[in-house]
C-alpha cells in the first residue's frame, strides 16, 4: 500500500480536542512546567531499558523489523525508531517519546511470542501512530497533574477534557494500526489478546460482537427484553481501554469509504462517509462526556450533587478536606453547585439518599460515568490513598457498578497513551 497522509484518517475528535487544549492557557502553562521538570529524562528512560530489556536488531528479529518497516512506509514516518523487547509474561506494548534521542517502541516478550504477523503490524502501527500524530506533545498524565507553587495547574474540568482527548487519540492510533495491518480480523484478535492475555485458538474473537457491548451500556436495564451476558462490561469508561468503544471505532473505520479506498478494497464511493463514521464515534464519546456538569435539569443536578458529596467524602478520607481540594471540586462543578460544605456525617447521610435516587433513575452508563469522574478527581493529584480507595469502593457498591471500573480508570489515568 502506498504512503498515506495521516491527516486523511486522523480522528476529527482527536484533532478538535487537541486544538482546543493547545490553546488553553492553563494547559500551556502546564506544558511549560512539564518540559522544565522532565528535560533530560529521555536518556534516563533509554538507559533504564538498556538495563532491563533487549534492543532488537534486524538479525535478531527480522519479523519485527519487517513489520516496523512496513508501518513506517504506510504512515510516511521517516525518523529512526528503536524497538526493545522486555521480559514480561503479560501481553503489552508501548511507545516511548525519548527526546533528544530516537523514539522507542517497547514490546513484551509474550506479545512477540503469540502475535501473528498481521497482529504485530496492527499493534506496531498503533504505537507508530502515536508518534506520527505527535500525541506526546501533550504528555499525559503529567499535563493533568503537574503542579506549581499554587498547586495543580490544570483545573479538574480541563483534566477531564485531557483524558477524553487521550481516548480520541487512541482512535487515531488504532486507525493507523488498521491501515498498517490491513486486516480487521487481525485487529480484533489483537484487541482480544491484549485485553484477555489469552492466545489460545479455542476462543475466536468476533469484532462486531465485541463492539456491540457498548449497546448494553447505553440503554437502561428496563429497556432490554432480557439480560445480556455482557452487561458487566464497563471497561469502556477507563481513560485508555482495550474496549468495545475502541473496537466499534475500528469497525466503523474498516467499513468507511476512506479505508476501503486507501487499501484498494472497493471502488470509489462505497462504504461509510466521513460524516457517518464520525457520527458513530461522536455518539459513543458523547456517552462518556461529562455533560451533566453543564446541563440544567433536575436529573443533572442530582448527578452533580452525588459527585460533590462523593468528592467530599473521598477527600476527607485521607487527612481531611483541604482548601485546595474544595477549590478543585468548585473548578469541576462550578462554585454555584458547591455552596456551603456540610459536615462529614451530614454529607454521608445525604449521599445515601442521593445515590439511592441515582441508582433508581440513572442507567448503567450514567452511574459508571459518575464513578469514573469521581475516580479521576481522586487521582488528579497523581495519588490515591488507601482510605480514598475504600470510599470509592463503597461508592461503586452503592451505585451497583463493579469496583473494577475504579481499577481500570486508575490504570488508564497512569498510562493513557500506551
Q: What is the DSSP string of 114-153?
A: H--HHHHHHHHHHHHHHHHTTGGGS-TTHHHH-EETTEES
* Average pLDDT rounded to a whole number, residues 263-292: 70
- At 337-396, the pLDDT tens digits run 566 677 888 989 999 999 999 998 888 778 887 887 777 667 655 567 788 888 888 888
All residues at 6 or more sequence positions from 2 whose CB lies less than 8 Å from its CB, including other chains: none
User: What is the distance between the alpha carbons of residues 110 and 89, in angstroms, rounded to a whole number?
Assistant: 5
Q: pLDDT (tens digit, 9 = 90+) per residue, 4-13?
A: 888 888 988 8
Question: Which position has the higher pLDDT, 329 or 122?
Answer: 122
Spatial contact of 265 and 198, defined as CB atoms under 8 Å apart: no
Instruction: Supply 9's cell numbers.
Output: 484518517
Q: What is the pLDDT of residue 230?
A: 34
Fold designation for 292-414: TerB-like (1.10.3680)
Residue 75 has what pLDDT?
A: 92
Q: Backbone phi, then psi, for 219, in 5-degree steps?
A: -95, 150
Mean pLDDT for the chain overall: 77
Among the listed residues 278, 291, 290, 275, the one whose alpha carbon sits nearest the alpha carbon of residue 248: 278
Task: List Cβ<8 Å contacts ≥24 apart for 82-88.
Answer: 82/46, 82/55, 83/55, 83/56, 83/107, 84/49, 84/53, 84/54, 84/55, 84/56, 85/53, 85/54, 85/56, 85/61, 85/109, 85/112, 86/49, 86/52, 86/53, 86/54, 87/52, 87/53
Contact yes or no for 231/246 (Cβ under 8 A): no
Q: Cite the beta strand spans of 274-359 per DSSP E.
A: none
**Residue 189 confidence class, pLDDT cut points 50, 70, 90:** confident
Q: What angle do CA 83, 191, 55 make, to 5 degrees?
A: 10
pLDDT of residue 224: 28
Please name the residues in contact with 1: beta carbons below 8 A apart, sequence gap of 6 or more.
74, 179, 182, 262, 263, 264
pLDDT category at 206 given cuts 50, 70, 90 is: low
Quick one: cell of 290? 461529562
Confidence bin at 208 (pLDDT 50/70/90): low
H/E stretch holding 82:
strand 82-86
C-alpha to C-alpha distances, 378 to 163, 382, 410, 413, nearest whole angstrom: 14, 8, 9, 11
CA 324 – CA 151 distance, rounded (Å): 8
**Structure confidence by residue, pLDDT tens digits, 100-136:** 778 889 999 999 988 889 999 999 999 999 999 999 8
- Tell me how long the chain is: 418
Q: Which residue has the cell 474498516?
A: 254
Are the C-beta atoms of 409 and 235 separated by less than 8 Å? no
The contacts of residue 48 (CB under 8 Å, 6+ apart) are: none
| DSSP element (H, E) containing 95 | strand 93-96
Which is it for the CA torsion 404, 409, 414, 418, positive or negative? positive
Positions of CATH 1.10.3680 in the chain? 292-414
- Tell me the pTM: 0.71
Q: Could you tell me the maximum CA-CA distance found in the chain, to the nearest angstrom?
A: 67
pLDDT of residue 400: 87
Amino acid at each position: 500500500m502506498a504512503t498515506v497522509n495521516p491527516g486523511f484518517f486522523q480522528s476529527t475528535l482527536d484533532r478538535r480536542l487537541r486544538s482546543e487544549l493547545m490553546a488553553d492557557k492553563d494547559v500551556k502553562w502546564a506544558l511549560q512546567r512539564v518540559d522544565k521538570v522532565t528535560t533530560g529524562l529521555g536518556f534516563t528512560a533509554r538507559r533504564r531499558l538498556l538495563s532491563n530489556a533487549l534492543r532488537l536488531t534486524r538479525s535478531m528479529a527480522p519479523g519485527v523489523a519487517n513489520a516496523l518497516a512496513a508501518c513506517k512506509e504506510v504512515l510516511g514516518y521517516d525518523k529512526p525508531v528503536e524497538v526493545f523487547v522486555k521480559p514480561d509474561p503479560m501481553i503489552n506494548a508501548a511507545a516511548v517519546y525519548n527526546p533528544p534521542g530516537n523514539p522507542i517502541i517497547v514490546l513484551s516478550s509474550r506479545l512477540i511470542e503469540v502475535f501473528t504477523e498481521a497482529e504485530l503490524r496492527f499493534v506496531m502501527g498503533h504505537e507508530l501512530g502515536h508518534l506520527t500524530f505527535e500525541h506526546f506533545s501533550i504528555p499525559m498524565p503529567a499535563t493533568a497533574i503537574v503542579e506549581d507553587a499554587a498547586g495543580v495547574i490544570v483545573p479538574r474540568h480541563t483534566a477531564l477534557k485531557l483524558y477524553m482527548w487521550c481516548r480520541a487519540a487512541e482512535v487515531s492510533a488504532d486507525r493507523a494500526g488498521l491501515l498498517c495491518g490491513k486486516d480487521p480480523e487481525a485487529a480484533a484478535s489483537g484487541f482480544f489478546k491484549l485485553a484477555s492475555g489469552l492466545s489460545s485458538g479455542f476462543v475466536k474473537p468476533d469484532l462486531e460482537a465485541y463492539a456491540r457491548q457498548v449497546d448494553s451500556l447505553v440503554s437502561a436495564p428496563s429497556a432490554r427484553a432480557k439480560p445480556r451476558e455482557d452487561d458487566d462490561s464497563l471497561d469502556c469508561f477507563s481513560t485508555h481501554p482495550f474496549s468495545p468503544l475502541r473496537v466499534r471505532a475500528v469497525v466503523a473505520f474498516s467499513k468507511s469509504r476512506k479505508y476501503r479506498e486507501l487499501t484498494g478494497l472497493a471502488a470509489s464511493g462505497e462504504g461509510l462517509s466521513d460524516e457517518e463514521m464520525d457520527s458513530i464515534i461522536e455518539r459513543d464519546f458523547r456517552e462518556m462526556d461529562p455533560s451533566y456538569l453543564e446541563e440544567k435539569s433536575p436529573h443533572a443536578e442530582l448527578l452533580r450533587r452525588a459527585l460533590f458529596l462523593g468528592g467530599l467524602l473521598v477527600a476527607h478520607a485521607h487527612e481531611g478536606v483541604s482548601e485546595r481540594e474544595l477549590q478543585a471540586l468548585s473548578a469541576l462543578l462550578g462554585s454555584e453547585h458547591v455552596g456551603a460544605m456540610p459536615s462529614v456525617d451530614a454529607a454521608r447521610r445525604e449521599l445515601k439518599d442521593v445515590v439511592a435516587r441515582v441508582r433508581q433513575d440513572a442507567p448503567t452508563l450514567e452511574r459508571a460515568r459518575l464513578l469514573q469522574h469521581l475516580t479521576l478527581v481522586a487521582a488528579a493529584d497523581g495519588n490515591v490513598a488507601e482510605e480514598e480507595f475504600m470510599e470509592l469502593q463503597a461508592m461503586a457498591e452503592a451505585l451497583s457498578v463493579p469496583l473494577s471500573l475504579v481499577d481500570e480508570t486508575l490504570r488508564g489515568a497512569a498510562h493513557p497513551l500506551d
